[in-house]
Chains A and B, each alone.
Chain A
């Protein structure tokens, strides 16, 4: 796997957090009462470590 391909998973959370937010800019469906757009941001922040860990695996760092 080439180096730039290994980096691709890292783009997913960035795209979701920057460009995705205006697309999901809504109150419903709310999660535990939290507006959907807020839940979206928090959920993507929380799963970002998985994507970066995957990049490390693809680069054979760990």
Chain B
């Protein structure tokens, strides 16, 4: 057997075994929209932790974090920092969202906007914006998958076709099992990803450099400037770092799949305990940086999007095919499991808030599960199509997604903090915020500040006066009462 056959066989076995495990663990559950989309609001601390970790630790974690460390060095530290800032915000925000979701029976992120601001049109706006930004986020996972299959196949076959097949298999998987199955798949995925990342982040550096201090000594000799941030004002400099950490931390929980995960919790305290524990998991990302730095010394010279392959190339060059297969299999799960959660959440948003609310399609329970399933397949195909035409680095894609998604935060915070906020203000803020992010995304910003951060400020500056100018007596009656 050739190396490619062994490695790819192991990848296929890992993915198939995970899907089978998830199918078996969900087979007795009755399917209603509550069950399919938010797991029947029944997940406890541990199960929710696995689900959230499953959604947070994606192929971006696996490949993009090390790729960014490889290409630019210190700017990669932002990945550790922003997730942690996101958890801090989540500690305060998520229990409030959960309570509203439970009391009003909400299923999706736009549902929250519809309920608080009393406008279905706002719900449709949020839903369409989420769809627009989630598609590149799904393509990010397909890109990751393709890189892994390409390397596991030693470049011997058409990885693009293989990635398409694997991705459609996962869309069918989500179609069948819903959120609970996704959470079970995360259980397997997290174990394997942790093992794989410990291997490439610890075993590989120790093997080649003897110890971490030795590796960093070599890095300092060859690439000292990369190990600290560039001065303020430069690309990827200090201003970029601070604005990016604040922006992406603010947007951390604004994704549709995050709202689904919040609603799936059994209680508020489950969410608080999760927020306390999650940063510990974040520390694991350190190993991805070690992997990227080791790759920089071992396989130098990769440019642009190639850097995302860096540590996989190390494994391919220096280790046996079965090791490569196991690492790539874990990586494939890191792409496929989050992709399934993203697909499901985005599909439920489109099915409920666009097709259901705007067009009056499928309002019954069974029909809603069916339209959600159809949307899963539709969105999967859209994402595949986009991916076939557009390739960029994983971190580049991720930052674009965050610039858009974060624009929902002012509306969510004002829902609790500012009784006078209304649908016109929040809607105008979202539209101008996204427009600003898109306009700035192609040009250089002053001091290298993150364009999404500027857009977020514009969003708030629009939200407040528009809400005041369009004030009506109904607005404050819709406001959520402050609760302890």
User: Real complex partners, A and B?
Assistant: yes
**Footprint of B on A, CB under 8 Å?**
3, 7, 10, 13-14, 17-19, 21-22, 25-27, 30, 32-35, 37-38, 41-42, 44-46, 48-49, 51-53, 55-56, 61-62
Q: Is B253 part of the binding interface, using a Cβ–Cβ cutoff of 8 Å? A: no
Q: How many A-B residue pairs have CB under 8 A?
A: 112
Q: Does A38 contact B289, Cβ atoms closer than 8 Å? A: yes
Q: Does B249 contact A14, Cβ atoms closer than 8 Å? A: yes
Partner of B77 from A3, A14, A26, A38 at Cβ < 8 Å? A38
Q: Is B374 part of the binding interface, using a Cβ–Cβ cutoff of 8 Å? A: no
Closest B residue by C-beta to A7: B92
A10 to B279, CA, bound (A): 13
A49 to B273, CA, bound (A): 9
Partner of B282 from A33, A45, A53 at Cβ < 8 Å? A45
Of B212, B228, B238, the most chain A CB neighbours within 10 A belong to B228
In the complex, chain B residues whose CB is within 8 Å of the CB of A49: 276-277, 279-280
Q: Does A42 contact B286, Cβ atoms closer than 8 Å? A: yes
Interface string of B58-101 (1 = CB under 8 A from A): 00000000000000001001001101110110011000000000
Q: Is B114 part of the binding interface, using a Cβ–Cβ cutoff of 8 Å? A: no
Q: Does B80 contact A45, Cβ atoms closer than 8 Å? A: yes
Q: Does B245 contact A17, Cβ atoms closer than 8 Å? A: yes
**Footprint of A on B, CB under 8 Å?**
74, 77, 80-81, 83-85, 87-88, 91-92, 211-217, 220, 224, 227-229, 232, 238, 241-242, 245-246, 249, 269, 272, 275-277, 279-280, 282-283, 286, 289, 484
Shortest Cβ gap from B209 to chain A (Å)? 10
Q: Taking A46-B283, A52-B88 as contacts, is the C-beta distance between A35 and B227 under 8 angstroms?
A: yes
Q: Does A37 contact B213, Cβ atoms closer than 8 Å? A: no
In the complex, chain A residues whose CB is within 8 Å of the CB of B216: 30, 33-35
Given contacts A27-B224, A38-B289, A52-B88, 12 further A-B contacts (CB under 8 A): A10-B91, A10-B92, A14-B88, A17-B85, A18-B81, A25-B229, A33-B213, A37-B77, A38-B77, A44-B81, A45-B84, A49-B280
In the complex, chain B residues whose CB is within 8 Å of the CB of A17: 80-81, 84-85, 245
In the complex, chain A residues whose CB is within 8 Å of the CB of B242: 18-19, 21-22
Q: Does A33 contact B212, Cβ atoms closer than 8 Å? A: yes
A19 to B249, CA, bound (A): 13
Closest A residue by C-beta to B86: A14
Interface of B is mostly: helix
Partner of B249 from A18, A21, A41 at Cβ < 8 Å? A18
Closest A residue by C-beta to B232: A22
Q: Does B272 contact A61, Cβ atoms closer than 8 Å? A: yes
Partner of A21 from B241, B277, B282 at Cβ < 8 Å? B241
Q: Does B91 contact A14, Cβ atoms closer than 8 Å? A: no
A5 to B80, CA, bound (A): 27
Closest B residue by C-beta to A17: B81
18 contacts between A and B (CB under 8 A): A10-B92, A13-B84, A13-B88, A14-B88, A18-B85, A21-B81, A22-B242, A25-B238, A26-B228, A27-B227, A37-B77, A38-B77, A41-B77, A45-B81, A45-B84, A45-B279, A46-B283, A49-B276
In the complex, chain A residues whose CB is within 8 Å of the CB of B213: 30, 32-33
Shortest Cβ gap from A56 to chain B (Å)? 6
Q: Does B88 contact A33, Cβ atoms closer than 8 Å? A: no
Q: Does A53 contact B215, Cβ atoms closer than 8 Å? A: no
Shortest Cβ gap from A9 to chain B (Å)? 10
A37 to B216, CA, bound (A): 13
In the complex, chain A residues whose CB is within 8 Å of the CB of B92: 7, 10
A33 to B249, CA, bound (A): 28
Q: Taking A17-B84, A17-B245, A27-B227 as contacts, is the C-beta distance between A33 and B283 under 8 angstroms?
A: no
Shortest Cβ gap from B236 to chain A (Å)? 12
Closest B residue by C-beta to A9: B88
Q: Does B217 contact A33, Cβ atoms closer than 8 Å? A: yes
Closest B residue by C-beta to A37: B228
Closest B residue by C-beta to A3: B484
Q: Does B229 contact A27, Cβ atoms closer than 8 Å? A: no
Q: Does B229 contact A46, Cβ atoms closer than 8 Å? A: no
Q: Does A18 contact B246, Cβ atoms closer than 8 Å? A: yes
Partner of A37 from B74, B217, B283 at Cβ < 8 Å? B74
Q: Does B220 contact A53, Cβ atoms closer than 8 Å? A: no
In the complex, chain A residues whose CB is within 8 Å of the CB of B83: 45
Q: Does B227 contact A44, Cβ atoms closer than 8 Å? A: no
Q: Taking A10-B88, A19-B242, A35-B228 as contacts, is the C-beta distance between A56 and B81 under 8 angstroms?
A: no
Closest B residue by C-beta to A52: B276
